Structure 1
Amino acid sequence: MIAESGHYALVLALALALIQSTVPMLGAAQRDVALMNVGRSAALAQLLFAGLSFIALITLHVTSDFSVANVFENSHSMKPLLYKITGVWGNHEGSMLLWVSILALFGAMVAAFGNNLPPSLRARVLSVQAWVASAFYLFILTTSNPFARLATPPIEGRDLNPVLQDIGLAVHPPMLYLGYVGFSISFSFAIAALLEGRIDAAWARWVRPWTLMAWIFLTLGIAMGSYWAYYELGWGGWWFWDPVENASLMPWLAGTALLHSAVVMEKRNALKVWTILLSILTFSLSLLGTFLVRSGVITSVHAFASDPTRGVFILGILVLFIGGSLTLFAGRATALKQGGLFAPISREGALVLNNLLLTVSCATVLFGTLYPVIMEALDFKLSVGAPFYNLTFGPLFALLLLMVPFGPMLAWKRGDLVAAMQRLLAAGVTALVAIAIAWAWARGGSALAPLGIGLGVFVISGAVVDLVERSGIARVPFKTALHRTRGLPRSVWGTAFAHAGLGVALLGIVCETTWNSELISTLRPGDIRNLAGYQIKFDGMTQRQGPNFAEVVSTFVISENGRQLAVMTPSKRSFATRGMSTTEAALMTRGVSQLYVSLGDTTADGGLAVRIYHKPLVLLIWFGPVLMAFGGLLSLSDRRLRVGAPQPARGLRGLQAAE
């Protein structure tokens, strides 16, 4: 009965989405307030029924109702409760239900908290959001029903893929989907603005908080997924340029460009055409990522399904929304006025350069991801890996990081590059000192690594210099500077933290990539190996039984200069139901560096193959994105992002009313 109730709730959510997609749009066209308000009620009710459907699927998994095909395929009665819950979105059908539930959540948030929006714009935003929701409700109900019953209910389930039975999967997919789906609001705002004929600084002020919220979640989701792959898959790497990893990186790059472009539009009433286009492209890349994961056109540890029917349906959604929105954009873009002018050397110019580098970087990743797929369709087998991205994406992003500290130092409309360089002199000197130290201490590795260290330090120091310049610490009495510092807008602090996070992540990437140490050896009990100043002693293996797996645990005693530091216990788990095994790596953290032990197979003579890594400063790779997300939260909490922008003069309107 729970399954039928969940299915019925999903059907009702579709019906409400169809109402929400049409009635408010008609109301906006006729200026009928009553019809426009239908959108708010329908959006809230849609969230209610989508949420009920999702809760029903969770209940079926928790109670191990194996008469439901989705539960049978992805659960087991002996599985821990946490993984019964996370198993709901550890499969195609459940993850799509989570996808549309988050879509309904964002629509309901616009309905509940969009009181500062003009009623007609809000109605159109909710209608466009419902168009997207309706398409995915239809997709789920016709090709991916999570509540389908089995004719002959089995006694036990097949269990969830063992690789997905990890705490990281409890948080990573929801975070990622909140980012993916959150950009649908930016898309809906862009389409609604094109339909309404209102694109101005106020529009940019309204769309920025939603874009920033999605960007924060996507940043955390990507970082968490990277860390999960690092410790769970046993490969010891943090990024593999996997096509599905790229699918999440592309909307992040486009979303970052959108955030900066919206700032220019809000402050200077410029870059209107570009900002609208970025709003469309960012969500389009999210849809493309959904297609890549679920169509079967790529093979990846992250990919869900290979059903051609699903792939064709999602491809139809892609064509409908991407093609339709770009067609609408092409028809309306010619009527847009660009607004305020600015000199090339200005803060606007720096943000335009930022956008150019981000979008070219995104295009590079898109090419590297899709080119093998296209060639495979033409019967040519090839792969695009790290060397391609290192030679293309790497230099572009390095140039972007070099330009980051200059943006906040330049004035709006017309800046002074020489003055900006003078203000960044301290940051430059600090970077040069860091390069000299890295060159003196480096042992092996790329000759470019010290330059990478210097670039990371320059970005971090630039963020600090920006705060120092704004507070006037070096120019005014300390009490005055302290008062100024306390009075700085949260968005200023947020920008500084986000930019510093980029530098922190770069330091971790350079150090881990350049100076990591690796030891591959076959050990027997009592054997000792040395790596990066550590003595690793293999003490033997023991067996133990988990809730739904059998586990062989190996014990390693870690010492330094004769002093015991830790005991590491990597293991191998065997899941009898699935007939699969996983490797559980062990990590020892010292500061922000880690010792990493991963197990291989046992040999005929009783030896154990072991792979041991020392990864210097590796945790900075993930501390950086966390710092960036924290900066985003600070900016999001700024009151200026929660109030409407002043109405621009009539002569500065970007698009005249089209009604």
Structure 2
Amino acid sequence: MIIEIGHYALVLALVASLVQSVFPVWGALRHDQRMMAVAPPLANAQFVLVLIAFAALTHAYLTSDFSVLNVIENSHSDKPLIYKISGVWGNHEGSILLWVLILVLFGALVSMFSRNLPQQLRAATLGAQGWVSFAFLVFVVFSSNPFLRVAQPPMEGRDLNPMLQDIGLAIHPPLLYVGYVGFSIVFSFAIAALIIGRIDAAWARWVRPWVLVSWVFLTLGIAMGSYWAYYELGWGGWWFWDPVENASFMPWLTGTALLHSAIVMEKRDALKVWTIFLALLTFSLSLLGTFLVRSGVLTSVHAFAVDPERGLFILGILMVFVGGSLSIFAWRAPLLKQGGLFAPVSREGALVLNNLFLTTATAAVFFGTLYPLVLEAMTGEKISVGPPFFNLTFGPLMVPVLLMMPFGQLLAWKRGDLWGVTQRLALAFGMTLVAMMLLAWFMGGQNILAALGFGISFWVIFGALWEIVDRIKPHKVGWSKAMHRFVGLPRTVFATALGHLGVGLTALGIVTVSAYETETVLTMQPGQTRDVAGYSITYDRTWDQRGPNFVERVAEFTLRQDGMVIDSMYPSKRVYNASGRPMTEAALHTEGFSQIYISMGDNTADGGLVTRVYYKPLITLIWIGALVMSLGGLIALLDRKLHVGAPQPARKSATARARAASTPAE
């Protein structure tokens, strides 16, 4: 009965989305108050209904209801509770339902927390959001129904893919989807602005919090996915330029550009056309990622293996929204008025240059990801575009962005003094040289490109911190007054500094681990000790043990440094009961920001064990940097200006009203 209630709620949500996609937009065009007023209740009703449907599916997983086909294919009664819950979105049907739940959640949030928006803009935005939710609810109900029952339920399910039975997969998809889907509301704001013809600095201020929320969650989702692939797949790598990884990375790049462009639009009423275009492009790339993951055109550990018919359905949605939004953009964009002017050397100019490099980098990733698919579809020829292509195209495009960051922070709005900023950054540059030489010497000092990479990374790090130092000026006013200034700095200063600091930390981790990681493949006998990267690793023993839904063979290694035991590490190989599929579980030891990574291989005929040992210097900075970036975004969300709604006319004081009343009219 609960399953039928969930299915019925989903159908009702489809009907509500149809009404929401028509009446509010029509009311906004006709300035009809009653038609516009139906948008918020419909958005809230959609969220409640989809939440009921999602709760019904979750209940089926928790109770191991094997009368539901989706539960049969992706669950097992022995599976731990956390993986029964994450199994809800560990498959195509359940994950697309989560996608829709987050989609309608954003519509409900706009209806609840944007009451100070002009009614016409809010109605048009929720109407445009209704278009998106209608399309995906049609897809769920008619092509990806998670509530299908079977006539004769089996005693047990087929279990979830072992690679997905990990805490990382309980966290990664929801974070990523909030980022992906969050850009839908930014898309809807852009469509609404084009429809009603209101695109100004106030619009940028209204939309920026939604860009920030989406960007923060997308950053966290990508970082979590990267770390999951690193430790769970047993490959020892954090990024593979996998097409599905690229599918989430492209909207992150354009979303970053959009975030900066919206700042220029809010501050200077400039870049209107460009900001609207980025809003449309970012969500279009999110839809492209959804198509790539679910169409069956990719072979990837991240992709859902589904039939091509569903892929064609999503391709149709992609074409309608991309083509339709670009048509509206082409219709309205020429009517936009020119905004504020600024000199090329200014903060606005730096942000524009930043945008150009980010979008060019997106184009490079887009080409490398889709070209093999297009070529195969047209000619049948299969080619592989791998890391060498992306490293040679994407890397050089990011170098100018990193070099410009410290300058962009300190340049003035409208017209900046480049030479003056260079002088202010002199000490940061000196600190960069010292840190670069010290780290290059510590790591061996033989890799010139790595040393340059260290220099660029430290330049971003010290440049980010220097903006705060430059504002509080402790060397001029003393530490007491400087601390008082520090406390009084605007939140946006800390947000910018943390965002750029995170980029620098991530870049430093990438450069170091790419240049200096070591991989050693050993065949070890019990009791044997081998030296790797300054550590002594002793293979002690192996034993078998049983988990809740798997059996595993565990190896014990003792890690020593300078003769002292610092850790015991336990890599394992599992075989899952239901599917019989094997999985390798790596063991990690973190020392500072570096890690020792041990992956267990097969046993040899003479009783030895093939072992893969990696030393990964400063690798954790990659994910620490992502967390710092996200913290910067969260602090930006706390900025008071982002909580200010539609401009309200100032209320006249009683004295002013009295004076106005006593003044004769001219």
Q: TM-score, normalised by structure 1?
A: 0.97
Report the equivalent of 2:566.
565
1:363-442 aligned within 5 A: 363-377=363-377, 378-442=379-443
| Structure 2: stretches of 5+ with no match in the other structure | 650-666
Counterpart of 1:653 in structure 2 is: none
Question: What does residue 495 of structure 2 align with?
Answer: 494
How far does the alpha carbon of each residue in 1:333-392 deviate from its partner, in whole angstroms, 9 at most, with x for none? 111122111110000000000000100011110001001111111211111111111111
Following the alignment from structure 2 to structure 1, what is the Cα–Cα distance between the partners of residues 533 and 315?
50
CA distance in 1, matches of 2:548, 2:326: 52
2:515 paired with 1:514: yes
Report the Cα distance in structure 1 between the residues aligned to 2:479 and 2:612, rounded to whole angstroms: 54
Which letter does structure 2 place at the counterpart of 1:401? Answer: L
**1:565-584, aligned counterparts within 5 Å?**
565-584=566-585
- Flag the 1:646–1:417 CA change in 2: closer, same or farther, 3 A: farther
What is the one-letter code of the residue matched to 2:312? V
Distance 2:194 2:26 in 1: 16
Alignment check: 8 A CA contact 1:468 1:474 kept: no
Report if the CA contact (8 A) 1:212-1:636 is conserved: yes
Give distance in 1, aligned partners of 2:541 and 2:477.
65
Look up the match of 2:459: 458
Partner of 2:166, secondary structure, is: coil
- Verify: 1:156 aligned to 2:166, yes or no: no
Distance 1:473 1:30 in 2: 58
- State whether residues 183 and 211 of structure 2, in contact with CA within 8 Å, keep that contact through their aligned partners in structure 1: yes
Q: Find the aligned partners of 2:480 and 2:577 in 1 and give their Cα distance.
A: 68
**Aligned residue pairs: how many?**
648
Q: Which residue of 1 aligns with 2:482?
A: 481
The amino acid of 2:485's aligned partner reads R
Structure 2: distance between partners of 1:592 and 1:405: 25
Alignment partner, residue 656 of structure 1: none
Q: Which amino acid aligns with 2:593?
A: V
Tell me how far apart the structure 2 counterparts of residues 478 and 595 of structure 1 sit (CA, whole Å).
Answer: 41
Q: Deviation of residue 2 (structure 1)?
A: 1.4
Structure 2 counterpart of 1:158, one-letter code? R
Partner residue, 2:471: 470
Q: Does residue 554 in structure 1 map to residue 555 in structure 2?
A: yes
Paired residues of 2:117 and 2:646 also in contact (CA < 8 A): no
State the distance in 2 between where 1:446 and 1:280 align: 42
Show the counterpart of 1:25. 25
Partner residue in 1 for 2:531: 530
Question: 1:444·1:515 contact (CA, 8 Å) conserved in 2?
Answer: no
SS for the counterpart of 1:234 is coil
CA distance in 1 between partners of 2:629 and 2:442 (Å):
29
Amino acid at match of 2:230: Y
Aligned to 2:341, the other structure's residue is in SS state: coil
- Is the CA contact (8 Å cut-off) linking 1:201 and 1:645 kept in structure 2? no
Aligned equivalents of 2:204, 2:174: Cα separation in 1: 27
Counterpart contact for 2:43–2:108, Cα < 8 Å: yes
Instruction: Tell me the alpha carbon deviations over residues 177-213 of structure 1, each in whole angstroms, 9 at most, x when there is no partner.
Output: 0000000011000000000000000000000000000
Q: Measure the CA separation in 2 of the matches of 1:545 and 1:444.
A: 48
Equivalent residue runs for 1:3-18 within 5 Å: 3-18=3-18
Equivalence map 1:124-203=2 (5 Å)? 124-203=124-203
Matched AA of 1:98: L
Partner amino acid, structure 2, of 1:259? L
Measure the CA separation in 2 of the matches of 1:364 and 1:631: 27
C-alpha displacement of 1:439? 3.5
- 1:603 deviation in Å? 2.0
* CA displacement at 1:646 relative to structure 2: 5.2
TM-score (norm 2): 0.96
Partner Cα distance (2:604, 2:132) in 1: 54
- Aligned-pair distance for 1:647? 8.4
Counterpart in the other structure of 1:655: none
Contact 1:516 1:613 in 2 (8 A): yes
CA distance in 2: counterparts of 1:565 and 1:465, whole angstroms: 37
Contact 1:75 1:160 in 2 (8 A): yes
Distance in 2 between residues matched to 1:608 and 1:445, nearest whole Å = 34
Percent identical residues: 62
Separation of aligned partners in 1, 2:108 and 2:95? 20
1:338, 1:218 → 2: CA distance?
32
1:509-554 per-position Cα deviation (integer Å, ceiling 9, x unaligned)? 1111111121101112111111011111111110010010001100
2:233 is matched with 233
Give the partner amino acid of 1:413: K
**How far apart, in 2, do the equivalents of 1:100 and 1:492 lie?**
35
Q: 5+ residue gaps in structure 1?
A: 649-659
Superposition CA RMSD, Å: 1.2
1:284-311: CA deviation from partner (whole Å, max 9, x where unpaired): 0000000000001111000002311101
Task: Give runs of ≥4 in structure 1 deviating > 6 Å.
Answer: none
Report the equivalent of 1:304. 304
Q: What is the identity, as a one-letter code, of the residue corresponding to 1:220?
A: L
Deviations 1:247-294 (A, max 9, x none): 000000000000000000000000000000000000000000000000
Distance 1:554 1:213 in 2: 43
Shift of 1:444: 6.9
Q: Is the 8 A contact 1:511 1:617 kept in 2?
A: yes
Match of 2:64, SS state, is coil
- Whose RCO is larger (CA < 8 A, sep 6+)? 1
Q: What SS does structure 1 have at the residue aligned with 2:159?
A: coil
The answer (yes or no) to whether the contact 1:273–1:338 under 8 Å persists in 2 is no
* SS of the residue 2:475 aligns to: coil
How far apart are 1:34 and its partner, in Å? 2.2
Distance 2:112 2:483 in 1: 38
Check conservation: 1:6, 1:52, Cα contact below 8 A: yes
SS, match of residue 448 in structure 1: helix
Moved more, 171-180 or 557-566: 557-566
Q: Deviations over 1:549-593 (max 9, x none)?
A: 001100001111221111100000001311201000000111111
**Aligned counterparts of 2:488 and 2:289: Cα–Cα separation in 1:** 41
Partners in 2 of 1:345 and 1:214 — Cα distance?
Answer: 30
Contact 2:445 2:451 in 1 (8 A): no
Once residues 442 and 484 of structure 2 are traced to their aligned partners in structure 1, the CA distance between those partners, rounded to angstroms, is 41
- CA distance in 1 between counterparts of 2:493 and 2:99 reads 33
Tell me how far apart the structure 1 counterparts of residues 584 and 443 of structure 2 sit (CA, whole Å): 33
In structure 2, the partner of 1:78 is 78
Classify the secondary structure of the residue corresponding to 2:382: coil
The amino acid of 1:334's aligned partner reads: P
Residue aligning to 2:281: 281
Contact 2:114 2:645 in 1 (8 A): no
State the Cα distance separating 1:495 from its structure 2 match.
0.7
Task: State the Cα distance separating 1:332 from its structure 2 match.
Answer: 1.0
| 1:445/1:514 contact within 8 Å kept | no
> C-alpha distance in 1, partners of 2:346/2:364?
27
Distance in 2, matches of 1:91 and 1:221, equals 17
Partners of 2:570 and 2:480 in 1: CA distance: 53
Cα deviation, 1:46-89, whole Å, max 9, x if unaligned, reads 10000010011100000000110000000000000000000000
Give the match for residue 261 of structure 1. Answer: 261
Query: What is the letter of the counterpart of residue 499 of structure 1?
Result: H
Q: State the match for 1:652 in structure 2.
A: none
Following TM superposition, by how much is the alpha carbon of 1:446 offset from its aligned partner in structure 2, in angstroms? 3.6
Aligned match of 1:40: 40
Query: Could you tell me whether the CA contact under 8 Å between 1:205 and 1:645 is conserved in 2?
Result: no
Q: What is the CA distance between 1:445 and its match in structure 2?
A: 6.3
Contact kept in structure 2, 1:297 and 1:306, CA below 8 Å: no
State the Cα distance separating 1:39 from its structure 2 match.
Answer: 0.5
